[in-house]
Amino acid sequence: MFKLNGMVNEKSADEPCREGPVGQAARAYGIDVSLLEDNLRLTPLERIRAHARALNEALMLRDAVKEQHTRC
């Protein structure tokens, strides 16, 4: 059961958010729930791995920018 601003969604985390009142409220507020749905379909380990990949890419980009600025 998920709660958001007093609303309850009886669906499990594996089911799309947009089918319940919480998902409807999120969309009405302007939130793109498709990314949330995609992430909720992943296992916790898959989410951790995806986060680690994104973090490593961000750190590599940061280091590349720093290196470029030191060359100028």
Terminal CA-CA length for the chain:
55
Task: Kindly state the tokens that stand for 45.
Answer: 């380990």
| pLDDT tens-digit series, residues 20-29 | 898 888 889 9
Residue 28, pLDDT score: 92
Cα(9)–Cα(2) distance, integer angstroms: 5
Per-domain boundaries in the chain: 1-41, 43-72
Residue 57, pLDDT score: 98
| pLDDT tens-digit series, residues 32-46 | 888 888 999 999 999
Cα(36)–Cα(72) distance, integer angstroms: 41
Residue 23, pLDDT score: 83
Burial 39-56 (b: 16+ CB within 10 A, else e): eeeeeeeeeeeeeeeeee
